[in-house]
C-alpha cells in the first residue's frame, strides 16, 4: 500500500491508482494470444482514465495528459 497521508498528495494517489488499475490488465495481457496489442489497449485505457481524473481537479495536470492521439 502507498504510504501517503490521506489528506495530501492527491496527485500521487491518482498516479498510484492508475498503476494499480494497470497491473491486473497487464497480467491478463500476458495470457492473451496477442499480448502487445492487448497491453497497448490496457495502457491507453488506464492512461485515459488517469487523465480524465487529472482534468477533474483544479491542480496542474500531469504533462502527458495534455498530449493527444499517438503522442
- The CA distance from 42 to 36, in Å, is 10
- The CA distance from 34 to 70, in Å, is 20
Contacts of 54 (CB under 8 A, 6+ apart): 11, 14, 61, 62, 65
**What pTM was computed for the model?**
0.72
pLDDT, one tens digit per residue, over 9-52 is 788 888 888 999 999 999 999 998 999 999 999 999 998 898 88
Amino acid at each position: 500500500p502507498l504510504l501517503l497521508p490521506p489528506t495530501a498528495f492527491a496527485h500521487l494517489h491518482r498516479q498510484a491508482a492508475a498503476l494499480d488499475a494497470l497491473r491486473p490488465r497487464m497480467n491478463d495481457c500476458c495470457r492473451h494470444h496477442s499480448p502487445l496489442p492487448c497491453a497497448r489497449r490496457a495502457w491507453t485505457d488506464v492512461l485515459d482514465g488517469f487523465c480524465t481524473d487529472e482534468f477533474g481537479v483544479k491542480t496542474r495536470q500531469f504533462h502527458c495528459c495534455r498530449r493527444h492521439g499517438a503522442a
